[in-house]
Amino acid sequence: MTPSPRPGGAMVEFNGVGLRYGPDAEVLSDINFNLQPGSFYFLTGASGAGKTSLLKMLYLAQRPSRGLIRLFGEDLVTMPRHRLPGFRRRIGVVFQDFRLIPHLSARDNIALPLRIAGVGEEDLAGPVGEMLSWIGLGERAEAFPPTLSGGEQQRVAIARAVIARPQLLVADEPTGNVDPEMAGRLLGLFEALNRLGTTVVVATHDIHLISRIENAQMMRLEKGRLSDPTGALRYPPNRS
Amino acid sequence: MIIPRVPVQHRRLLPDRRLSGPTPWVIAILMLLTLLAAAAGVGLARSANAIGTAIAGRVTVQIVTANPVTRAEQAAALRRAAAGQAFVRSARAVEPAELRATLGQWFGGEEGGDGDPVLNALPLPALVDIDFVGEDRAGPMRQLRALVAREAPGARIIPHAEWLEPVARLIRSLAWVAGALVLLMIAASAAVVIMTARAALGTHYATIEMLHMIGATDRQIARLFQRRIAIDTAYGIALGSAVAAAILLLIGWEWSGVTAGLAATASLGPWGWALLLALPLLAIALAALTARQTLLAALKKIL
């Protein structure tokens, strides 16, 4: 049975988390926060502050050097490796550099998480078609990533991240490679998903973006330490 | 399963570049050499066994009595007496013409013909070839000595094993060397597969990382690569086997004309051919298994 966060409990808990690569000094120190189900979070900070490292721990690409991380109510630090794929299927990830598979069409890139999860081809066509329409690329379904614009590639990456209806969506600088108009449209996609109940975490250093989402909460990383300028992490708003 | 079943849509995760890398060609060469070494090993081992069986119970009695008439009478008497013994399977007096023909090859006579003055002048011994019954040599040898002392005193008994056994031992050693070469080339093939698997992981690291991030298990990812490596390897093995088969058939055809001497004892036999047919299949299975274990071990190092 797939574990879920207990009612009223946090979806993600970071408690005294530190991260170091090799023998070097910690890139993240004493990270403490809880993410509530259905909330929208921005993670900000200057380049090199540790945003990507924090997100890597959030989407299970990196284990912490110390501290406790609980995801969906389970301790991730001691979780055996073979259980991680099941948890990863509940998390959608959008990368700044898209990471689309270049020799797969837009349709096949979007369908990938469902295929990996074992969904049959007959059950794929509907959701993938809907998703292509939702991101406005219905007519470019068979196009390969190198032939798509940056904005189109980013939309395909977002569609791939959300096609399996993840409970948590993590996006690392999703608007870093697109113009302001496209950035607004992409943010609109995230907001729509959030309204459907997905917890969204977006790392960005674009302060204008943050102001466009109502009720969004902000975490700020400075030199590997987390600050909570809005106090929202300590007193999360009740969205129910 | 040697070549795992992977849905068509999943296969597209790896770009289709069959036979573009060096792996199939290297495997083809290794397979060719493996099969030739295996064929040589089997042929030599069978030859050594055939020689061993043939010489184990054979002796030649050499009668050197000076008087040619007495020599011929002793030889005939010994052949008759030996043929009547229970421990003797066959006894044959070697004809003088046969002896001269053999010596003629070395002395340059005219096919050992009776007209050759040099050969005719040579004091040739009378020879009687005797084959024993069964594999016991000590008992028959004792009885033969008694028989020779009675029928042809002073004659010398020469067991064939004394002078052919070193040759058989050498052939056996060469067969072992061929077997060792087969093992070495199988190890080299496995090393090629390991390097191919590691190179494939390096080349497609970004895809693997992405697949992990969307929840793919190690087994799902390994199956993709295992299938590709097994197919590439199978192409190489098929190519190497086809060339080896052509070479072996050609050698077999040439060999079929050899009917005399040690060379005539070399053949592959049904088990040898069965081994040669099984080797390519075993090689494909070994390649797939090696690829799978290498991939799973490498994937475990990635979170």
Do B215 and A112 count as a contact with CB atoms less than 8 A apart? no
pLDDT at B248 over 70: yes
Condensed to tens digits (0 to 9), the pLDDT of residues B124-153 reads: 889 999 988 877 777 888 999 999 899 888
- Cα torsion B95, B100, B106, B111 to 10°: value is -110
pLDDT at B19 over 70: no
Structure confidence at residue B169 (pLDDT): 84
Short-list B225, B245, B184, CA closest to B23: B225
Which is more confident, B267 or B204? B204
Structure confidence at residue B22 (pLDDT): 85
Structure confidence at residue B271 (pLDDT): 86
Q: How far is CA B5 from the centre of its chain?
A: 37
Whole-number percent of chain A with pLDDT over 90: 36
Do B303 and A111 count as a contact with CB atoms less than 8 A apart? no
Beta carbons of B277 and B271 less than 8 angstroms apart: no
Residue in B210, B220, B300 closest to A101 by CB: B210
Sign of dihedral through CA atoms A135, A136, A142, A148?
Answer: negative
Do B303 and A61 count as a contact with CB atoms less than 8 A apart? yes
pLDDT at B121 over 80: no
Which is more confident, B186 or B97? B186
Cα separation, A54 vs A171, in Å, equals 12
pLDDT at A18 over 90: yes
Residue keyed to tokens 């060096």: B22
Best of B14, B208, B210, B214 to substitute, by most chain A Cβ atoms within 10 angstroms, is B214
Q: Does A93 touch chain B (CB under 8 A)?
A: yes
Beta carbons of A232 and A217 less than 8 angstroms apart: yes
What average pLDDT does the segment A188-209 reach? 87
Structure confidence at residue A2 (pLDDT): 47
* Beta bridge partner(s), residue A225: A222
Do A85 and B212 count as a contact with CB atoms less than 8 A apart? yes
Q: Where are the beta strands (DSSP E) in chain A?
A: 12-19, 28-35, 40-45, 66-71, 74-75, 91-94, 168-172, 199-203, 217-222, 225-227
Cα separation, B70 vs B135, in Å, equals 33
Q: Does B69 touch chain A (CB under 8 A)?
A: no
Beta carbons of A35 and A41 less than 8 angstroms apart: yes
Cα separation, B157 vs B254, in Å, equals 37
Residues of B in contact with A121 (CB under 8 A): 9
Tokens for B23, please give them.
Answer: 């792996």
Q: State the average pLDDT for chain A.
A: 85
CB pairs under 8 A between A and B: 55
Give, in degrees to the nearest 5, the angle at Cα A192 between A191 and A197: 90
Short-list B131, B128, B124, CA closest to B89: B131
Condensed to tens digits (0 to 9), the pLDDT of residues A21-77 reads: 888 888 999 888 888 899 999 998 888 888 889 999 999 988 999 999 999 888 988
Q: List the single residue in B with minimal CA-CA distance to A121.
A: B9
**In Å, how far is B278's CA from the nearest CA of chain A?**
36
Condensed to tens digits (0 to 9), the pLDDT of residues A222-232 reads: 888 887 655 65
Cα separation, B279 vs B271, in Å, equals 12
pLDDT at B263 over 70: no
Structure confidence at residue A6 (pLDDT): 56
Whole-number percent of chain B with pLDDT over 70: 89
Do B10 and A115 count as a contact with CB atoms less than 8 A apart? yes
Q: List the single residue in A with minimal CA-CA distance to B208.
A: A101
Residues of B in contact with A61 (CB under 8 A): 209, 212-213, 303
**Chain A window 206-225: which residues touch B at a Cβ cutoff of 8 Å?**
none
Residue B107, Ramachandran bin (φ over 0: left; ψ between -120 and 50: alpha; else beta): alpha
Residues composing chain B: 303
**In Å, how far is A199's CA from the nearest CA of chain B?**
17
Condensed to tens digits (0 to 9), the pLDDT of residues B51-108 reads: 777 777 888 999 988 888 898 899 999 999 988 888 888 899 888 888 888 777 777 6
Q: Does A117 touch chain B (CB under 8 A)?
A: yes
Condensed to tens digits (0 to 9), the pLDDT of residues B196-245 reads: 888 888 888 888 888 888 899 999 888 888 888 888 888 999 999 999 99
Structure confidence at residue A240 (pLDDT): 41
**Phi and psi torsions of A214, nearest 5°:** -70, 140
What average pLDDT does the segment B278-291 reach? 88
**In Å, how far is A191's CA from the nearest CA of chain B?**
22
Average the pLDDT over each of B85-99, B112-126, B172-186, B257-271 and give the range with the smallest value. Answer: B257-271
Q: Does B297 touch chain A (CB under 8 A)?
A: no
What average pLDDT does the segment B10-37 reach? 81
